[in-house]
A and B are shown apart, each in its own frame.
Chain A
């Protein structure tokens, strides 16, 4: 399965956003999809994982309540969304396939939040 993420976004604080991660070349529903944040110049942060088969989710408490993970199996796509962005959400966001270790990664979506 290869993962293709949506393009870069520039948003204002308080705006909503939904970024996507489309799988191709395999059985999308059989593998968990994880999300990882990388703030500018910083390390990797595990945000959570979602299972496309039944939408079971496991969030990092540090992110729970601020982001929502979802999937649409019919189009082999996972989503990460915010209802009210903050400047501190400025980061690169990666999706990756895997329940425990992250086997292959998308190219990343750069989200910039600035007034």
Chain B
């Protein structure tokens, strides 16, 4: 089973700044089979990125994904107050798929 470790646990930034969230896998995530989700307080998660770098429908281009192998990054440029959320990565190399433990993004 692939274990995903996200860092940092909490990130506190100001509007307009850039956020860089990390997701590290315990083994190679083949074919870049990695997705990112956003979960705002009290809401269901929402798909942001799949295939490590492809934005889901309706996701602003402020959100971008990159990486390969065992190291992946979600970047949010030009933070807005509405980006307050917990962000999760998830692999889908083989079942059981797993999620990272999440990074909480706070907006100052």
Question: Which chain A residues have a beta carbon within 8 Å of chain B's beta carbons?
Answer: 36, 43-46, 48-49, 58-62, 94, 96, 98-108
B72 interfacial by beta-carbon distance below 8 Å: no
* B positions within 8 Å CB-CB of A: 33, 35, 37, 39, 44-47, 50-51, 56, 86, 88, 90, 92, 95-102
Name the residue on B nearest A64 (C-beta): B96
Residues of A within 8 Å of B96, CB to CB, are: 46, 48, 58-62
Contact (A46, B90) CB under 8 Å given A58-B95, A60-B95, A101-B35: yes
Interface centre among A44, A103, A106 (most CB of B within 10 A): A44
B45 touches A46 (CB 8 A): no
List residues of chain B with CB within 8 A of the CB of A62.
96
- Cβ contacts A to B, 28 pairs, < 8 Å: A43-B86, A43-B88, A43-B100, A43-B101, A44-B37, A46-B90, A46-B96, A46-B97, A48-B95, A48-B96, A58-B95, A59-B96, A60-B97, A61-B96, A100-B33, A100-B50, A100-B92, A100-B97, A101-B35, A101-B47, A101-B92, A102-B35, A102-B45, A102-B47, A102-B90, A103-B47, A106-B44, A107-B44
Q: A100-B33, A101-B50, A102-B37 are in contact. Are A94 and B44 (CB under 8 A)?
A: yes
Whether B99 pairs with A43 at a CB distance below 8 angstroms is: yes
| Whole-angstrom CA separation of A108 from B79 in the bound complex | 27
